[in-house]
Amino acid sequence: MSGPTAPFLVKICGLSTPETLEAALAAGADMIGLNFHPRSPRFVTRERARELAAMARDRAEIVALVVDFEPHQAAELAADLEADWVQLHGRETPEQVAAIRAATGRRVMKALGVAGPADLAVIPAHAAVADLILLDAKPPKDAAYPGGHGKPFDWSILAELDPGWRFMLSGGLGPANVADAIRVTRPAGVDVSSGVESAPGVKDIGRIRDFIAAARRAAEQL
């Protein structure tokens, strides 16, 4: 994968209402994420997702977040939404990532949970088949759905990564700490969901704006 020469990416994930989607677009989000995991508080129905995707089209890249989908399921969803990306947030193997990428014809982002240095060992195999790696905090063992659940991991362990790997950072980010996260990890972009919410699944327009502004300011210093 190439080094971080492409424009810095800011992704707002788990959007579920026209008002908060519009706020993210107006604030300059590069990517908007629609969550199709039914156990997540950010789950959207296919009907609502089509509405939101239509609002975002040609203004930001549309990301369909799925968990352990079969290739044909991912392909049908991506075609229905006219999604730009499919985000794989389950236990997909590199072989499954490659199969979904081939079936959908879309770019694929693979999320990998990180809690300690040992978790970085799986990155090369996934990076070889995915278009982008998303490093997220590993969820608690009893979690009902994937993701960081608002808790960051120890960013300093990423100092051991090959500097040629291009990744997005997620997990416990918010307006107050995103600048530090960018400074420490120097990612290709950042992704936030619960960090811009007032309650699980309820996005806060002010926090969305603040997060994007803080991330942009920090990225300019890279």
| Residues assigned a catalytic role | 13, 136
What H or E segment, with its residue span, contains residue 104?
A: helix 94-104
Neighbouring CB atoms inside 10 A of 155's CB total: 20
- Long-range CB pairs of 120-127 (<8 Å, 24+ gap) are 120/157, 120/158, 120/160, 120/161, 123/161, 123/165, 123/167, 124/162, 125/94, 126/94, 126/97, 127/1, 127/165
Six-digit token string for 197: 């919410």
What is the phi/psi pair of residue 67, to 5°? Answer: -125, 115
